[in-house]
Amino acid sequence: MSITSHYPTVVQFGAGSIGRGFVGQLWSEAGYEVVFVDVVPELLTALNERRSYRLRLAGPDRFETLTIAPVRAVDGRDREAVAGELARAAFACTAVGVGVLLQVAPALAAGLARRCAAGGGPLNVFLCENQLHCSDLLRGIVARHLADPAAGDTLGLVETVVSRMVPLMSAEERARDPLLAVAEDWRMLVADRSAVVGAPPDVPGVEYVSDYPGHVARKLFIHNMGHAVAAYLGYLRGHATIHEAIADPHVGLAVREAMAETCEALCRQYGWTREPVRAYAADLERRFRNAALGDTVARVGRDPLRKLRPNDRLVGAALLCLDHDVTPLQIARGIAAALRFDPPGDPSAGELQALLQQEGLDDVLERVCGLPPAGELAGMIRSAAEPLGL
């Protein structure tokens, strides 16, 4: 029995927290049937049996539960079925994680070939992977699978900035309803207008921008950085959740000032007007205070080794500040706090603590953060780390 519908379709690779918890809502509310592509049998079965799922949005003062429909699912291992869906779809989207993204390439190439053979229009694919230049990697792999290289000209790989916060659900919640998704009520998806082929899909909640790299930097160095500082300082202050941490005057002030540091640096870097950027940071602080979201410092701070890399949210933000003569005092405090982050069940945090014990602070700053021990930022981090016992 066919389970197709009369709605135009969007092929959504990934039925996880972003697929169901964010973009599935945008596509559905724009009038599309969402065809999820995944490999988890339980998800595939449940989506095809129900043809809908529940999305619980946690606002600052209320919950709202939506039913997202119509939806269905295709097994990602069935390349022919996926290619058939892509040949007919209005557009597609990925939210699978950068590590899995390249595995989508063969199906994309097959779908694109079918689409071109049938005289179909361009295929635009939104990439919800939060990694700059992931489109270049994917395009290179897709090209290897295309018999006709010209077909690649009809493929738009549109990078996006995902800002909706989606907390981890408990095992109990997942057991009660494996399709339930929980997220905050923020609904804006920033997309790179220059990457779209043909007319951009008209979807309320998608904001097409011409200065996409700046929006990536804004997300990484204000949103992700501020979130991380709240988690790491909050952890040291004994808080379990982000909203508890940000309500602590010591943590809240540090986060506010850290975001102000990068706001100023970004305005100098991109020539932005200061007021809209400051308003963005103020709204982020409001969102961090959302108790209904229940986001934990353990989740937000998870994998400190990655988050302390030279180009990531903390060290990258601090270096940007120094490049523009802004002193990253509070960001340095956040970095020092990250070096003390040691919750149970986080292998990266355990590895970081072992490195500190075996090699010492200066070696970790050089090997993990890419900072020369004699440099200005390393000195600021050492000063901030002293009161923390590092």
pLDDT of residue 244: 98
**What ranges do the domains of the chain cover?**
9-210, 213-388
Q: ∠34-38-41 over CA atoms, to 5°? A: 115
Contact 97, 129 (CB under 8 A): yes
**Angle between helical axes of 225-236 and 274-288 (0-180°, round to 10):** 40
- Contact present, 71 and 53 (Cβ < 8 Å): yes
Rounded to 5°, the CA angle 232-233-236 comes to: 90
- Give yes or no for a contact between 56 and 18, defined as CB atoms under 8 angstroms apart: no
Peptide linkage before 70 cis (omega within 30 of 0): yes
- Alpha-carbon distances of 372 from 304, 337, 363, 367, 368, rounded to whole Å: 19, 19, 9, 9, 11
Tokens of 90: 């209005």
Q: What is the pLDDT of residue 1?
A: 39
What is the assigned CATH class of domain 9-210? alpha beta
pLDDT score recorded for residue 132: 83
Name beta bridge partners: 63.
58
Q: Are 221 and 260 in contact (CB under 8 A)?
A: no
How many residues in the chain? 390
Beta strands in 26-138 (DSSP E): 33-38, 53-58, 63-68, 71-75, 91-94, 123-127
Nearest to 21 by CA among 66, 60, 55: 55
Cα-atom radius of gyration of the chain, to the nearest Å?
Answer: 22
Instruction: Show the tokens assigned to 26.
Output: 């945008």
* DSSP at 201: P
Q: Identify the pLDDT of residue 2.
A: 46
| CATH architecture, domain defined by 213-388 | Orthogonal Bundle (1.10)
| Helix, coil or strand: residue 35 | strand
Could you give the 3-state DSSP secondary structure of residue 272? coil
Task: For 110-156, write each residue's pLDDT tens digit.
Answer: 999 999 999 889 999 999 997 889 999 999 999 999 999 999 999 99
| Ranges of the chain with pLDDT below 50 | 1-2
Q: Which tens digit of pLDDT belongs to each residue from 239-281?
A: 999 999 999 999 999 999 999 999 999 999 999 999 999 999 9
Give the integer Cα–Cα distance in Å for 390 and 350.
15
- C-alpha dist (Å) from residue 296 to 16, 60, 134, 234, 244: 19, 16, 28, 10, 9
End-to-end CA gap in the chain = 64
Look up residue 368 and give its amino acid: V
CA quadruple 150, 155, 156, 161: dihedral positive or negative?
A: negative
pLDDT at res. 322: 99
